[in-house]
Structure formats: structure tokens, C-alpha cells
Amino acid sequence: MNRVPRRLIAGMLVLLTGLACATGFASSEGESVPGDATPDVSYTLRTALTDGRLAFVGATGSIKGQVNPDLNAPEGAIVRIKLINGDGVIHDIVVPEFGADSGKISTRGAAATIVFKADRNGTFTYYCSLPGHKAMGMLGRLVVGEAREALADDTGTIAQDPTAVGQPVGTRAPRHVTLDLETSEVVGRLADGSSYSYWTFDGKVPGPLLRVRVGDRVTVNLSNDERSEHVHSIDLHAATGPGGGAAVTQVAPGQTRHFTFKALAPGLYVYHCATPMVAQHIANGMYGMILVEPEGGLPPVDREFYVMQGELYTRERHGSPGLQELSLDKLLDERPEYFTFNGAVGALTETHELQAQVGDTVRIFFGVGGPNATSSFHVIGETFDRVYSQGSLTSPPLTDVQTTTVAPGGAVMVEFKVDYPGRYKLVDHALARVEKGLVGFLTVHGDSNDEIFQAPHDLAH
């Protein structure tokens, strides 16, 4: 019996793999679509590294040159998407709602095709399913039926603007400060194609960064929106008194309560709702921070940012479309489906982005709402020049720190000078959480300096 050469076997396997990538795929209704079916709509994408991110780039027609372009199709259309590997990295393309999966392509120039019937009207996501690739930027929208804005735009965003840091206290003397806050229950964007029923302070997650001075007398007026369905309250870790204020601010819908406290100690503190079940209120978005500045205020810096980490425990699996609801079982078992910066997936990559110039000194007020997970806060490609651990502003800062640990209900203030242009990623160094939505961008503009960092010319842009 003649033996078949190994090279021939390998070649046959590659051919069979390629053929498998071109076969039909089931629609969401399970309807089989032949791979050679005549498409009503065709698109060609190539993979690429653009501006330090992985991406799909339109290769032909009206989407040519567009990064992660919107793909449009009439409802009921046969859609064909061809993917060309343009960077030599292993990739695929999937559209889970329609059962479309190209399989992996691993060599530059290799191609795969998905064919499916777009039998549902709506906005869906296509992306690369390789670990980390979606978080690195490989995702776009498939709009089926009448072109419309994504669900995220329909429902609005609850993501707090990281530049909303309030006014520094400067060198003023202590005074009486009044803080007006409103609790509300709103549906907001969670991720592309999905939303969540958030509970908020002032309609954002986190709530506003409150900024006072040590020695101030602070009156807090807490109102609960009349459309709310639950009682809410506030516990400020900066306040000395019963429940940090929570004991006297259990506010029913349509009502207002208030209390006054003296800011006795400088520091960066978390506040949150403390109405039972407390963890449920926090998980739904009811947390924020209050900065008690020391006498004379904080030293000036070029940029200040406000970032908080939290978890969401949805009944549906991560990535499911539509309105998501809280799972109490997952909350009690500490099994979050999402980790977020500032309340939503993409809050600090799509909705808002941190911007700076080479030479700027950056200060980040960072806290963890939780309610359960500890953060290992890290900025990839940077070192913290100063870390005010646990939000203490009176202790000497740690210097030259790579990663800092922040407990649930805890905070940290970090400062660093940005010396080189590029896009720097904010992460929790428990890096599996990137796959659940936990990443932000700090984009630094300006001239490069080869003495600090020198990249190969073909990767520099």
C-alpha cells in the first residue's frame, strides 16, 4: 500500500479548512443558507493594525478605507461578508445573532467567507471572537432593515464624562457648601445593541465627583425622582455620622431629605446608596466619589480625570442583545457578566476618551464602586509617578508604581507625566476582565522622542 506524503495530507487539510469556511451558515431561525447562494448584499473586509488597534477595514466599494464600517442590509437579504487577513495575525469574523462564523484564518492573504440570511430587523454586532481582539477594536455594526441608530443611541448614555471633575477649591477658606443630588432609575446604553435599567445619582454612572475642602460644612440635599420605583439613600465615606448620612436619607420617590456634616479629613472618598439590599443598589450604578481637598488645595496639574470601576450582574450572558436585567443569584455568587469603567462598555473608548498632550501631567481620581471585585488599576505603557494609596492625601505618595490595588468602596489618586504620543489603555490587570468590557483609552498627542521610545517605521502609525 502506497503511503500518502505528509505534505499532500497537510495541503488537503488546508484545502478542506478553506472549503469549510465557505460553507453555508444557519440563520437565527435555523434556516440553512448554502455557501454558494447568490447574495443580495456583499461586503469585503480586511484585518489591519490601525493606530495601535486591531480593526476591520473596508476593502472595496462604499466602505473602502473605513475602519469597522457599518454594514447595511435589507431585512430578509442574503448577506455575504468576505474577510481577508491583512496582518498575519489569527482572526475570524462572527455574527452570533445569525449563526455566522468564518472559522480562523491565520496567514497574511488568507480569506474566509460567511453567508447568512438577515431575517431579523435591528442593529447587531460583527466582531473577531479571538480572545482580546474584540476589546482591541475588532467590532462593528450590522444594521438590518431600515437604517437607524444603534440601541445605544436610542436609549442614551449614562456613562459619566471623565473630564467632569468639578472646580478645584484653591486657597479659599472653609465655608458652608450645599450639594444637591437626585436619584433616578433610567434605561441606558450598556453595550452595542443592549441596554440596562440603571439606578443613578444625577442620571450618570458614577454619580458626580463632589469637590469640597477640609473644614467645610456640607449640606446634602438628596431628592428621589418621582418616577422611581424604589427608596434610595446616600452614604458618604467622607462623612462622620450615622451611616455616613444613610440613616437620615432613606428617600421615597418624589421626596427630598437632607443632612449636614463637617469635612473633618482630607482624602478621596467613595459614596454610594445604602438602602437594603445595598449590594443591589450599588451594582445597578449607585456610586460616586467625593474629594475633600486639603488646606491650600491640590497642586495644579495639566489634566484631571474621573474614573470608577464597577460590575453588572445580568441574567443574560455577556453580549446578549436587548434590555438586560439584574440577576440576584449572580450578584450573591459574585459572578458578574460585565466589568465597566464609568458604567458601560465603551464608556472610555467610544462615548468618552481621555486626551492629553506630550509633556502634560495627568491626575486620575480612580475609585471602585464594586460592589464585590477588587481592582488592580494599571495604565499599559505608563508608570505612575505618584500614587496616593487608598485615597490618602496626607500620607507621602508612593513613587514609580506599575499597578495599584483598590478595594471595593476604595479609591486612589495617581499622577504621571506623559512623555510619548500614542494610545494608552486603562485596565484592571486582572486582564480577563477586558473581555467583559473593562478597558479605557488615554490618547496622548504630540511629537515622538526616539530617546524615550523608538518603533519600527511600519508599526509607528
The reply to whether the predicted model has a pTM over 0.85 is no
Phi-psi region of 61 (alpha: psi -120 to 50; beta: other; left: phi over 0): left
Helix (H) / strand (E) containing 330: helix 328-333
> Is the pLDDT reported for residue 22 higher than 70?
no
Q: Are 366 and 244 found together in one domain? A: yes
Q: Tell me the per-residue pLDDT of 88-137, one tens digit each, with 9 for 90 and over.
A: 999 999 999 899 999 999 999 999 999 999 998 888 889 999 988 887 78
Mean pLDDT of 48-75: 89
Q: Is 239 in the same domain as 353? A: yes
Torsion sign over Cα 392, 395, 399, 404: negative
Q: Which whole number is the average pLDDT over 233-242?
A: 98
Domain carrying residue 248: 151-461
Domain end (from 84, 118, 148) = 148
Which residues on adjacent β-strands are paired with residue 307? 366
The domain tally of the chain equals 2
| Contacts with 288 (C-beta within 8 Å, 6 or more apart), sequence order | 201, 206, 207, 208, 209, 210, 270, 271, 272, 308, 369
Same domain, 111 and 226: no
Please report whether residue 187 resides in a domain. yes
Q: Are 46 and 168 part of one and the same domain? A: no
What share of the chain in percent tops pLDDT 90? 79
Distance from C-alpha of 210 to C-alpha of 212, rounded to nearest angstrom: 7
Residue 431 confidence class, pLDDT cut points 50, 70, 90? very high
Can you point out the beta strands (E) in 214-252? 217-224, 235-236
pLDDT of 30 strictly over 90: no
Indicate whether 2 belongs to any domain.
no
For residues 157 and 108, membership in a common domain is answered with no
Q: b/e string for 224-260 if b means 16 or more Cβ within 10 A?
A: bbeebeebbbbbbbbbeeebbbbebbbbebeeebbbe
Assign 440 a pLDDT band (cuts: 50, 70, 90).
very high
- Using the predicted structure, report yes or no on whether residue 336 has a pLDDT greater than 90: yes
Instruction: Using pLDDT thresholds of 50, 70 and 90, give the confidence band for residue 362.
Output: very high
Query: How confident is the model at residue 12, as a pLDDT?
Result: 41
| Cα distance from N-terminal residue to C-terminal residue, the chain | 56
| Domain closes at, from 148, 174, 204 | 148
Instruction: Confirm whether 282 is domain-assigned.
Output: yes
**Mean pLDDT, rounded, of the chain:** 89
Q: Are residues 185 and 296 in the same domain?
A: yes
On whether the CB atoms of residues 268 and 365 are closer than 8 A, the answer is: yes
In a domain, 378, yes or no: yes
Q: Is the pLDDT of residue 398 over 90?
A: yes
pLDDT confidence bin for 52, thresholds 50/70/90: low
Helix (H) or strand (E) holding 443, with range, is strand 440-445
pLDDT band at 17 (very low <50, low <70, confident <90, very high): very low
Q: Does the pLDDT value for residue 23 go beyond 80? A: no
Residue 51 covered by a domain: yes
pLDDT at residue 27 tops 50? no
- Tell whether 126 and 265 lie within a shared domain: no
Both 246 and 135 in one domain: the answer is no
- Same domain membership, residue 301 and residue 184: yes
Whether 196 and 272 map to the same domain: the answer is yes
- Per-position DSSP letters for 122-173, written without gaps between them: EEEEEE--STTTTTTT-EEEEEESS----HHHHH---BPPTT------TTPP
The residue among 156 and 56 whose pLDDT is bigger is 56
Q: Is there a domain that residue 6 lies in? A: no
Cβ pair 87, 131 in contact under 8 A = no
Pick the range with the lowest mean pLDDT from 140-144, 354-358, 396-400: 140-144
CATH number, domain of 90, equals 2.60.40.420
Q: Where among 96, 128, 148 does a domain terminate?
A: 148
- Name the percent of the chain in helix, strand, coil, to the closest 5: 15, 40, 45
- Is the residue at 294 inside a domain? yes
pLDDT band at residue 34 using 50, 70 and 90 as cut-offs: low
Q: What's the whole-number mean pLDDT along residues 35-59?
A: 86
Domain assignment of residue 4, yes or no: no
Task: Check whether 28 has a pLDDT greater than 70.
Answer: no
Q: Is the pLDDT of residue 151 over 70?
A: no
Q: Any idea how long the chain is?
A: 461
